Amino acid sequence: MEATHRTEWTLLATPLVAFLLVCLGFPAVVNLVYSVSQISFATLRQPEITGFGNFVAVVSDTAFWRANWFSLRFGLLTALLECLFGLGLAVFLAPLFKERSWPIAILMLPLMVAPALMGLMYRLVLHEFAGPVPHYLWAWFGDSPAFLGPNSAFWTLTAVETLQWTPFAFLLFHMAYQAIPTELREAAALDGATGLARFWRIELPLMLPTAVAALLIRFIDGFRVFDNVYVLTGSGAGGSTTSLSIYIYEAFFKQGAIGKAVAASVILFAASFAVLYGLNRLARRRRR
Amino acid sequence: MTFSAARASRFLCTVFAAGVAAGAAQAEVTVLGWPGGPEETALRAVAEAYNARPEVSGDNKVELLFFNRDGFWDKLQADLAAGSDAFDVNLLATYSIGRYAPFMEPVELSGEAQDLYGEAVLSTMQFDGRQYGVPTDLSLHFLYYRKDLIDALMADETAKARYAEISEEHLGRKLEPKDPNDWSWDDYAATALYFTQAVNPDSPTRYGTVLQMKNLLFNIMVWQSTARSEGGDWRDADGRITVNSDAFRKGLELYKMLYDAGATPRDSLSYEFAEANAAFASGQVAAMVQWNAAAADLTSAEKSPAVGEVTATVAPPAGSESRATHIHGLGLGLNKSAGNKDGAKAFLEWLSTRQAAIAYAKAGGAPALSPQAVSEIAEERPDLVQLGEYAGAFGYVMNGGASANALAVYELQAKEFTGYWSGQQDLDTALANVERGMAELLK
């Protein structure tokens, strides 16, 4: 019985393992080789293994740490804002969505726009001479801020990302909120709990797993941001809006420093794996 | 000024700049061209003319392939390095020849090419002394200015006195308004300040100029003539890096001063070609240095109703050493992995004939032709006369500007210099970083 079970498991898992080996394993091996090689576009097929110089170059590059800091700040801030707004909308508009569900479709619209196109749209919308926002600010107040200036670009990018992805967080919270049994709310109301008390003591704790998942998903998405930032500000004045993805892209294509770019991606992969592994272990311990 | 949907859509179209794709599934000679804009239109016209020639067999007809301008050079680099045979002929530019040459083959030009283009223009497609492409379009810079505003300034004594006051306050000496064709960079700066409402509340325009200061290599090409006209270069004759010089300092400080004084829009650090054009076309900018490619739109009353009839162009202002404009060429060359090399070579040789160049120019392209050749189309394309004249008189390529790492050098300068302009680092640090990086990239 045990042997049959093992054979079945092996048969079922084989296609998945083969897929992972081909689609992820091969590029991963190539990446590892390139990361310890001296390599250029002219020698892509003949990498010369030279050791860990690329890793040293990456960790001693202040631009790499600056890009990490940008990505970390951006990922954390946008994830937090999106989840706060998403939760707020899900709870505040719940009575409306109970009666009519079509407004949800309107809220979902930003998700349908490709991030690069969203960046392009805001590049137009915020342009002082072609965009409606600065136009009306000038008309009404006689001035308009530099939305993409060196001191405000980060906040503008954060706002753009938040506006686009809040609906995603909202959707998760909406589903979680709807899944809370009505009896619980009714019982709490009978016990005299106010709306605020019901939210803090019953609804929010029940939605906590959703909140953790939403925060994690949105953080990962924000941390690896590329498209809309690249279209709106590129890597920014003096590299001020260089996310880690943009750092790797520019090292690879713009500087032709392929080994360095790949080494940075290997470091990112290792760090991501370590964090996810740690979170997984933490979750398991809590379940026990 | 009113918000105009037409202006917005024009801006968006320019930003998109590129069309997507003509299909080329079964091309006999597949040509990968520069998408969008007049280059694509002109290439389509000459491809049609070539295919109509009776001596071109069905196996050697030209099919065109286009993809988006965004990331074009990166994608091309990846394709060439991977040995792709998806195209036989590909686009190349002066600043990228060194990077692509290992994956391309030199080409043979027609016997007419030398007289047709002249050595200076042919050299924009050369690397290590070998011809890697047929020059199709030349890019350089014009000074675009509002003729109505400059004429009014020069005719008004009160305005002249105010102009002198402003120039003394910001530049340290009293200047008089001049014809833009006689401008030095100081005259340009003084005019920019005079026409800035933050400096001169009576200015008819919000800004005196618009600077493209985004961290982007093409913006450094626009800026670097300020340094070149003061005698600046990337390297000296012995190969030593020479950017840490008074010439570079002066050019960088000029931009910084104008930005800090509010003479250019506050968002200029995110501006490139399209944004600068939109600003100038709005009628709220008095003068700017911009690519020649903008001339057709900015001097057209239909496309730029606010300024089309009053916009004039001259060569960029002079520095203490010379007047200078960056030049680079776009051209077409032969992919080393081409599937149909003979067909591709035949097309490229024909493309370098007088007949093809004239057809290309008539269809909207911007080839830099010799005075004899351009006279044939001077009535239809007067801008090409100016293009050839300025390229010959003021055109330059920085020493190292066609090397394998030229693009990386521009990228480095863009990052460091925008860091200085935005106040994130001082000038000494920016120049020292660029000097150190260039020494590594150009060794």
The domain locations on chain B are: 15-138+328-396, 141-326+406-441
Q: Do B15 and A41 touch (CB under 8 A)?
A: no
Tokens of B353: 């004939």
Q: Does residue A182 contact residue A38 with C-beta atoms inside 8 Å?
A: no
Put simply, the chain B residues between 228 and 257 with a CB less than 8 A from any chain A CB are: none
- A124 and B12 within 8 Å at the Cβ level: the answer is yes
pLDDT (average), residues B8-17: 50
Tokens of B223: 């800026």
Classify domain B15-138+328-396 by CATH architecture. 3-Layer(aba) Sandwich (3.40)
Q: Which residue of B has its CA nearest to A138?
A: B1
Q: How far apart are CA B371 and CA B148, in angstroms?
A: 31
A-contacting residues in B 114-173 (Cβ below 8 Å): none
| % of chain A beyond a pLDDT of 90 | 66
Q: Are strands B89-93 and B29-32 parallel, antiparallel or unpaired?
A: parallel
Per-residue pLDDT of chain A (288 residues; tens, 9 = 90+): 667 788 888 888 889 888 888 888 888 888 999 999 988 877 877 888 888 999 999 999 999 999 999 999 999 999 999 999 999 999 999 989 888 889 899 999 999 999 999 999 999 999 999 999 999 999 999 899 999 998 899 999 999 999 999 999 999 999 999 999 989 989 998 988 888 999 999 999 999 999 999 999 999 999 999 999 999 999 999 999 999 999 999 999 888 889 999 999 999 989 888 988 888 888 888 776
**pLDDT confidence band for B362 (50 / 70 / 90):** very high
Which residues from chain B sit within 8 angstroms of residue A124, using beta carbons? 8, 11-12, 15
**Residues 69-108 of chain B whose Cβ lies under 8 A from any Cβ of chain A:** 71, 74, 77-78, 80-82, 99, 102-103
Domains of chain A, earliest start first: 33-287 (1.10.3720.10)
**CB distance B279–A128 less than 8 Å?**
yes
Per-residue pLDDT, averaged over B373-402, amounts to 88
Residues B317-334, mean pLDDT to the nearest whole number = 94
At A34-89, the pLDDT tens digits run 999 988 877 877 888 888 999 999 999 999 999 999 999 999 999 999 999 999 99
Give the pLDDT confidence of B181-191 residue by residue, as tens digits.
999 999 999 99
Q: Which fold has domain B141-326+406-441?
A: D-Maltodextrin-Binding Protein; domain 2 (3.40.190)
| pLDDT band at B293; cut points 50, 70, 90 | confident
Q: Encoding tokens for residue A283? A: 């979750």
pLDDT at B392 over 90: no
**Nearest C-alpha in B relative to A117:** B16
What are the DSSP E strand ranges found in B317-377?
A: 325-326, 328-335
Residue B70: closest C-alpha in chain A: A231
CA distance B443 to B438: 8
pLDDT of res. B7: 56
Q: Which of B267, B304, B418 to mutate to test the interface with A (most CBs of A within 10 A)?
A: B267
Complex ipTM: 0.84
Helix spans in B142-234 (H): 147-154, 157-171, 185-194, 217-223, 225-228
Which of B197, B211, B266, B440 to probe the A interface (max A CBs under 10 A)?
Answer: B266
Half-sphere exposure of B186 (CA within 13 A, CB side): 15
Tokens, residue B399? 């020493």
B68 contacts in A (CB within 8 Å)?
none
Of residues A129, A147, A255, nearest to B408 (C-beta): A255
Does B15 touch chain A if contact means CB atoms closer than 8 Å?
yes
- Asked if A255's CB is within 8 angstroms of B269's CB, the reply is no
B422 shares contact with chain A (CB less than 8 Å): yes
Rg, chain A, Cα only: 24
Whole-angstrom distance, CA of residue A75 vs CA of residue A243: 10
pLDDT tens across B398-427, in order? 998 888 888 889 999 999 999 999 999 999
Longest Cα pair distance anywhere in chain A, in angstroms?
A: 81
**First-to-last C-alpha distance (Å) of chain B:** 52
Which residue of B lies nearest to A255 if distances are taken between CA atoms?
B408
